[in-house]
A and B are shown apart, each in its own frame.
Chain A
Amino acid sequence: MAHAPTAPLTPFAIKDCALIALATGDKVQTLKELRDHLKTVPGSSLYYHFWGGLLHPGFEEREYGNDLGEWAKHALHDATLAERLAAIDPSGFANPEDMRQALLDVVEQRLEEDSANPWTPVDRQFQFIRSQIVVFDTGRTVEQPEQLAEVIAGLSPGSVFYHFIDARQRLPRGEDDFRAWLSAWGQRYTGLAQGLAAIDPYFISLSELREQLAALFANSHRSSTHV
């Protein structure tokens, strides 16, 4: 038999979001130019190239998890740089400036290792893009974690993005909204929270991510009702 929740809590408010991209006019063709522009591009541009791209037209499988890594491999043909850029987890930084510094360290290191300053043809330039995000309330709320199992399958990609990806740079510990909400219920949903932490969202489309989340919540709900 399922345990009752440990305490009454604030309902989970389902939000949605839409992203719009803007040109910054910053274009780079060499590794040195990349370093120079990384120093000055707006933080919203780093957000876009690591996270925002998931909500904007683009192919669902990013080999290197972010736009800079993709460019390093497919335009500069520098697999070493691509792999190092892919290892940067944007949710691991307290603020965009720390992330900017980590990116600069990777590029500087590569420039020291390879003095050739690789370059791309004009039509393979990296175009820095920034974004604006509009967040809106859907008016729907969920009172109990079990209800999320039903709700998640019908969420829009924007809602999935907002609660599972965007949350990582909004919340202090870099976690998603679902885990943050579940943690307020004490130990009861620890397993579910661990399952959520194990989903790596960078290599799948938002609709695939939604399916994984829905399956995880459904499984958790089924097992709790059979205890």
Chain B
Amino acid sequence: MSNLLESYAEVAGTDIVDQLRQLAAPLRGMKVVHVNSTRVGGGVAEILHKLVPLMCELGLNTRWEVITGERDFYQCTKAFHNGLQGHRTVIPEHLLRAYQETNARTAERLRPVLEEADMVFIHDPQPAPLLGLCPNRKGTWVWRCHIDASHPDRHVWRYLRRFLTDYDASVFSLASFAQALPHPEYLIPPSIDPLSDKNLELSREEIAAVQQQFGLDPQRPMILQVSRFDRFKDPLGVIEAFRLARKFVPGLQLVLAGGTASDDPEGEAVHLEAQNAANHDRDIHLLLLAPDAHRIINALQRCADVVLQKSLREGFGLTVTEAMWKGKPVIGGDTGGIRLQVINYHTGFLVNTPEGAALRIRYLLQRPERGQEMGEKARQFVRENFLLTRQLREYLTMLLALRSGITDRIELS
């Protein structure tokens, strides 16, 4: 077994890695190309950094290409992203022109590779028009949507849909995120990488150093929410829940840790609102972290007693998955993908109000043995369902299914 596969076998189990090898056997030598819009930053690039070498080690001839453009292209695709997530969006004509021109230029560069490939994965809307620009394509093309497109801006969706209808299949993270398209729509939930900086095991010393860096008292209980400063993540509700719970748990500390908000005017406003709500309370720590502060977030999650994700609206909620992987019970907003992961009294609690969150914080801090039990269950649940190896298994299964047609049952000889 190769080094990378071996590393995953240690964390995810040898049976899943054996399965990957067996599923990949009939696909050996297949030419696979992934195309997305960046090699650095963001969840898609993070996954591809591991997925591509793993597919190569399994014998698939896999490469990763990137579409790059100028400012107008990125403004346009950012607007697509917002539009797919439900924001009302009007995109000026010159940005749409930049989008199509960038794809045309990229097609000139990548056409030989894409037309020769047996399987092409196009990730998100940025490179979606490439299919129409490769008329001699011989392989199967799949559009992978990583975005919660459950309630898209209808103008944006109508515009993008024209580039998507000719794909052979698409992939959405959840059934509720899928939009009607005239081809099979596969459902592959996202996953976390157990070997990334955000999720790997850390030494006690490293965790203690992070506690010290941010002035956290390891002798007192600490609750944590990791999320952007965004109203849908309800940071003010978390602060209110903290204050309600602290009446019963003197010494309680709260950490709200989020990304830097310098490029997001609304983020800055929400951060300011949170600062005002915190009102210089020494036990409320609002942390603005750099985008690559993965090990710090990892350490904070590991030293928290309880992790919250009190979102009012949420896509899948990978921060929930990350906390569960670290054996923490999670108090989550009763919405979106959080419902798939947080089950009352098993892996944490679903709540609808700050009062509900406070009640559950008190319960978990008063009954640490129950919290620990839930945390262990949560970790096992993630191990079985939400690690990268599972996502790769589903990609391989989909490749086999697409190769075999649309039958419900495929028996490999």
Measured CB to CB, the residues of A under 8 A from B are 16, 18-23, 25, 42-44, 47, 57-61, 123, 125, 127, 129-138, 154-158, 205, 207
Contacts and interface: CB of A to CB of B under 8 A. Distances in A.
B15 A18 contact: no
B326 to A, nearest CB: 19
B40 interface: no
Interface string B1-45: 000000000000001101100110000000000000000000000
B335 A23 contact: no
Given A22-B184, A137-B412, A132 B16 contact: no
A126 to B, nearest CB: 10
Contacts of B287: none
B175 A127 contact: yes
B73 interface: no
B100 to A, nearest CB: 28
B160 interface: no
Given A20-B398, A58-B340, 11 more contacts: A16-B19, A18-B23, A21-B187, A23-B175, A23-B178, A25-B178, A57-B386, A127-B176, A132-B397, A136-B23, A156-B15
Nearest to B16: A156
Interface string B392-413: 0110111011001011111111
Interface of B: 15-16, 18-19, 22-23, 172, 175-176, 178, 180, 184-189, 335-336, 340, 343, 346-347, 381, 384-386, 390, 393-394, 396-398, 400-401, 404, 406-413
Given A127-B176, A135-B410, A156-B19, A19 B186 contact: no
A149 B82 CA distance: 55
Contacts of B189: 57
A21 B407 CA distance: 13
B394 A156 contact: no
B186 A22 contact: yes
B408 A132 contact: yes
Given A25-B178, A132-B409, A136-B412, A59 B186 contact: no
A61 B346 contact: yes
A16 B346 CA distance: 29
Given A23-B178, A134-B23, A154 B187 contact: no
A16 B390 contact: no
Nearest to B405: A132
